[in-house]
A and B are shown apart, each in its own frame.
Chain A
Amino acid sequence: MFSTAILVFREVLEAALIIGLVAVASRELASRFKWISIGIGSGILGAILIAMMADVINNAAAGMGQELLNAMILLAAVIMLGWHNIWMKKHGRELAVHARQLGQAVSDGQQPMYALTILVGLAVLREGAEVVLFLYSMVVSGTPAGQIASGGAAGLAVGVAFGAGLYFGLLRIPMRYLFRFTSILLLMLSAGLAAQAAGFLVQANVINVMTSTLWDTSWLVSERSVPGNILHALVGYIANPMGIQLLFYLATISIIGSLMWLVDRPGQVRMVKPAPSLPS
């Protein structure tokens, strides 16, 4: 039961922290929890689908289907985060001013929740597929259902508690710093996901350069420890990164960061189109 709880916790933690961060980043949107729930629900459905199709996926692309699918999920999440961050940089300030003038929360259609909903879905999908396969493995090997259920529930509960902790912890930060702080965290999160994608592309034999390990800090913070897991999820901590992972990390920060800077300068050519309105 204990090993079930630990594995489920480890997978849930990463998705829960991302969801906690998304809930803070979209705090001005009244219907955010509806959108987050849609993301979680579709992520769970997707995870079950992926687990059921594991055979097809594994045999695709000369046996490298699993790696390529993981890389694509991660890169799609990076694009969603980048889109959200750039959009918020361009419109966030006017939105906050507008909301204050009208004395109301920002309504649907004024903040592109699609990007964050898809991000939540992808995070749940990636971590969830592994949980589903693991639980299936437990069932097949004859572990009593009660043990699987209680272990899984305990792991899920503790993981969700960490996500809630991050949410309420961040909300204590004064409003005027919070926007900047969450956008920096989201930027580092996206860079970390890009670095993970680079790892899968190396594993798939698609990238063959800069694969040497740069350093190893696993003696200080192991990625398998709880602090290591949290740092990995939030800022993309990798104890022993390959050169290509550092390159992907820095490139993501530079590209999204410079686009955010470009759209923020008043009187400059706007680089990003406003997001389509959401149906209310």
Chain B
Amino acid sequence: MKQLVAIIICTAALVVGLPSSAWAMPEFTLRIKEHKFTPTVLHIPANTKVRLIIKNLDATPEEFESEELHREKVIQGHGQGVVFIGPLAPGTYSFIGEFHEATARGQIVVK
């Protein structure tokens, strides 16, 4: 079953084809520790697509979520995930860790 799902997903990815531009973009890292994000405020360039690597140092899964950025992604405990962001207009965009909303909060400042 695991393999079946993996095969289906891989096939779908091959069919749609992930653009190669994904590999040449600026990279940023966000860490989750004790249900808090570091850095709390992340600066990224305007009108540029960036690769955000989210590393979860906690044992618990967390969901990175931002309504303003149209992003939601579960990051496994002691795992990591990639979220592409942008190109964005200058401004401030907030995000939360939905599973620990009280403490897991941050902002992305675009300029």
Binding site for B on A (CB under 8 A): 3, 7, 49, 53-58, 60-69, 72, 130, 133-134, 136-138, 140-141, 199, 201-206, 208, 211-213, 218, 222-224, 239-240, 242
In the bound complex, what is the Cα–Cα distance between A223 and B72 (angstroms)? 14
Which 9 A-B residue pairings sit nearest by Cβ, starting from the closest? A61-B13, A137-B60, A60-B9, A63-B82, A140-B60, A65-B9, A206-B16, A205-B84, A137-B99
Residues of the B chain whose Cβ atoms lie less than 8 Å from the Cβ of A239 = 67
Which of A55, A62, A202, A211 makes the CB contact (< 8 A) with B13? A62
With A61-B18, A202-B70 as contacts: A136 and B12 at CB distance below 8 Å: no
Which of A58, A62, A136, A199 makes the CB contact (< 8 A) with B79? A58
Do residues A242 and B61 form an inter-chain contact, with CB atoms below 8 A? no
Do residues B73 and A203 form an inter-chain contact, with CB atoms below 8 A? yes
Which of B10, B67, B101 makes the CB contact (< 8 A) with A218? B67
In the bound complex, what is the Cα–Cα distance between A62 and B23 (angstroms)? 11
Do residues B67 and A240 form an inter-chain contact, with CB atoms below 8 A? yes
Q: Residue-by-residue, is B50-78 near A (CB-CB < 8 Å gives 1, otherwise 0)?
A: 00000000111111000110111110110
Do residues A203 and B84 form an inter-chain contact, with CB atoms below 8 A? yes
A249 to chain B, nearest CB (A): 14
Q: How many A-B residue pairs have CB under 8 A?
A: 113
Residues of the A chain whose Cβ atoms lie less than 8 Å from the Cβ of B83 = 203
In the bound complex, what is the Cα–Cα distance between A130 and B82 (angstroms)? 18
With A62-B13, A137-B61 as contacts: A242 and B84 at CB distance below 8 Å: no
A interface majority secondary structure: helix
Binding site for A on B (CB under 8 A): 1-2, 5-6, 8-10, 12-13, 16-19, 22, 35, 58-63, 67-68, 70-74, 76-77, 79, 81-84, 87, 89, 98-102
Residues of the A chain whose Cβ atoms lie less than 8 Å from the Cβ of B81 = 58, 63, 66
A129 to chain B, nearest CB (A): 8
In the bound complex, what is the Cα–Cα distance between A208 and B73 (angstroms)? 18
Do residues B10 and A54 form an inter-chain contact, with CB atoms below 8 A? no
Do residues A56 and B70 form an inter-chain contact, with CB atoms below 8 A? no
Residues of the B chain whose Cβ atoms lie less than 8 Å from the Cβ of A212 = 89
Known: A60-B5, A134-B99, A203-B83; 15 extra A-B contacts, CB below 8 A, are A53-B5, A54-B74, A54-B76, A55-B76, A57-B9, A58-B79, A61-B12, A61-B18, A62-B13, A63-B82, A65-B6, A66-B81, A141-B58, A205-B22, A239-B67
Question: What are 19 A-B pairs at a CB distance below 8 A?
Answer: A53-B1, A54-B74, A54-B76, A55-B79, A58-B76, A61-B9, A62-B13, A63-B82, A66-B73, A68-B9, A137-B100, A140-B59, A140-B77, A141-B60, A205-B22, A206-B17, A212-B89, A222-B67, A240-B67
Residues of the A chain whose Cβ atoms lie less than 8 Å from the Cβ of B59 = 140-141
With A56-B6, A63-B82, A134-B99 as contacts: A203 and B60 at CB distance below 8 Å: no
CB nearest neighbor in A for B74: A133
Do residues A205 and B19 form an inter-chain contact, with CB atoms below 8 A? yes
Residues of the B chain whose Cβ atoms lie less than 8 Å from the Cβ of A208 = 19
Do residues B10 and A242 form an inter-chain contact, with CB atoms below 8 A? no
Which of B9, B62, B73, B89 makes the CB contact (< 8 A) with A137? B62
